[in-house]
Amino acid sequence: MNRMSRLALLLLAPLCLLLPIAVSAQAPRPMKQSAVALVEKQRADLIRLSEEIWGFAEVGLEETQSAEVLARYAESKGFTVQRGVAGISTAFVASYGSGRPIIGIMGEFDALPGISQKAVPTREALHAGEAGHGCGHNLFGAASLGAAVAIKEMIAAGTLKGTVRFYGTPAEESVGGKIYMIREGLFKDVDVALAWHPDDKTTVDNLGAQAIVQFMVEFHGRTAHAAADPWNARSASDAAEAFTHGINLLREHVRPTVRMHYTVERAGDVPNVVPDYARVHTWVRDSRRPGVDTVFARVREIARGAALIAGVEQTVTVQTGSSDMIILDRGLKLLHDNLSWIGAPTYTEAEQTFARTLQANTGQLQVGMRAELAPLAPILPDPPGGSTDVGDVSYVVPTLHFYGATAPFGVPWHAWPVVASSGMSIGHKGMMMAANTLAATAVDVFADEALRMALRAEFAEKTKGVTYHWLIPDGPPVVKRD
Ligand SMILES: [Zn+2]
């Protein structure tokens, strides 16, 4: 929806209230128009929040300021905020209302290391070597909270009944904060959870996400002078080499949907000292969790074999792992209807030039912004490459998820072009589209009990016989750095 039609809609909204309520399986349109008006009222605040978080650019578990500005905004709007939940100082839940239904809206706010960038379409670091919002999570958190605030106003006015919660979910890019929040039981009474994600296009999430396990393989050997008495040494770096070689041999014998990647984080310091310690950070993904479990079992054996070859000890430590996504057809239809109703933003010539310059600078076709809604398509049997801890939430509560265009079509993700567009009006427009869609969808879910029951029934059907188990170590999350 462009600015003019939105303006017309806001002017017409009071008239609509006088009209008979349309027969619909979802909430009457005027209620959703009110929700959109309440989001639009916050436009300046949401842009400010997203810009502050963009500027902080804090990585997972260190998003202190980012979490705080969101939590404070929620408090200023009348929410009760529980900070530092699930043993994570930057995780929080903001809640308003009482009783059922309980609708949760998730927001992320962590940045990615090393991709600092100014909000300009050519490569130029804001603070060289530092973090940047290359996944648009500054927009993610602000949009989701804006939608939660709109719903809160409607509960306060007596238009909707129940509880709205904003889940401030940290460290999506590293340990998966949502998984810790699930383990803490924070989602267990939620009727429906909503989330979106920034993207280079607008579509409901019929794609899903890959299941993943992230683990550290460590080798401990015995050091010695590499020239004087190497026969006394047992090289941890030899074991790391054998391990990565083993993985690369395995690569031919896994299903095409499997992804395995690693970085050798430590393997000695200087050539004349045989390293007694090596560490390989390894990730394994597949379309579904059982596929990951099968490959992970083989990779564990490879680590054992590599240690035998080099005569060293080995340990494999799971750090985290997220689930694939349970997608609900009824949820896709609902999101698609609302995205279609809200409509794609329109862009100025300056914004299109910004987009085309980013595309030119990254070797992409210069097609500008592609924010129009993709047609509703069936759920894919195998997701494209990528994982998210929203997948875990989708295993414990019916979860609705979509993508909103916040960056030019085709530009590399987790990279500087996304940092650039997340810090300017292209990102802001996508954020507002997402906030409006979340708010409209939440109104439907609040107001229509039959819809909630349909979502829950499909969720029950799709999780029948499946026991969800989290893949995180005991205790609070720790990121290994040295
Ligand atoms: Zn992301």
Give the tens place of pLDDT for each residue, 323-374. 999 999 999 999 999 999 999 999 999 999 999 999 999 999 999 999 999 9
- Residues 17-45 have a mean pLDDT of 78
Question: Residue range 41-57: average pLDDT?
Answer: 98
Give, for 51, the enclosing helix (H) or strand (E). Answer: helix 43-56
Residues 6+ apart with CB under 8 A from 455: 192, 328, 330, 331, 398, 400, 445
How many angstroms separate the alpha carbon of residue 277 from the centre of ligand 1?
33
Q: From ligand 1's centre to the CA of 414, what distance in Å? A: 8
Instruction: Write down the pTM of the prediction.
Output: 0.91
Of 18 and 411, the structure prediction assigns the larger pLDDT to 411
Residue given tokens 């993610």 in the structure block: 140
pLDDT above 70 as % of the chain: 94
Of the pLDDT bands very low, low, confident and very high (cuts 50, 70, 90), residue 480 is low
* Contact assessment for residue 89 and residue 190, using Cβ atoms and an 8 Å cutoff: no
If you measure from the C-alpha of residue 407 to the centroid of ligand 1, how many angstroms do you get, rounded to a whole number? 13
Res 24 pLDDT > 50? no
Q: How far is the CA of 172 from the centre of ligand 1 (A)?
A: 7
Q: Which residues contact 258 (CB under 8 A, 6 or more apart)?
A: 284, 285, 286, 291, 295
pLDDT of residue 478: 76
Place 11 in a pLDDT band, splitting at 50, 70 and 90: very low
- How confident is residue 424, by pLDDT bands cut at 50, 70 and 90? very high
445: phi then psi, degrees, rounded to nearest 5: -70, -35
Overall average pLDDT of the 158-165 stretch: 98
Q: Distance between the two ends of the chain, CA-based, in angstroms?
A: 49
Which pair of tokens denotes residue 353? 């030039």
Mean local confidence (pLDDT), 82-92: 98
Taking the centre of ligand 1 as the mean of its atom positions, its distance from the CA of residue 221, in whole angstroms, is 38
- Confidence check: pLDDT of 14 > 90: no
* pLDDT top residue among 3 and 63: 63
Task: State in Å: Cα 430 to ligand 1 middle.
Answer: 15
Distance in Å, CA 269 to ligand 1 centroid: 34
**Residues flanking ion ligand 1, Cβ below 5 Å:** 135
Percent of the chain with pLDDT over 90: 93
Distance 112 CA to ligand 1 centre (A): 9
Find the 136 Cα to ligand 1 centroid distance in Å.
7
Residue whose C-alpha is closest to residue 419's, from 107, 67, 88, 111: 111
Beta strands in 61-200 (DSSP E): 80-83, 92-97, 102-107, 163-168, 192-199
Handedness of CA 119, 124, 127, 129 (dihedral sign): positive
**What is the per-residue pLDDT for 479?**
63
Q: What is the per-residue pLDDT for 25? A: 56
Asked whether the beta carbons of 184 and 86 are under 8 A apart, the reply is: yes
Grouping H, G, I as helix, E, B as strand and the rest as coil, residue 147 is helix
Two structure tokens written together for 342: 């809200």
Q: How many CB atoms within 10 Å of residue 130?
A: 15
**Do the beta carbons of residue 364 and residue 248 sit within 8 Å?**
no
Could you tell me the sign of the dihedral formed by the alpha carbons of 184, 186, 192, 193, in that order? negative
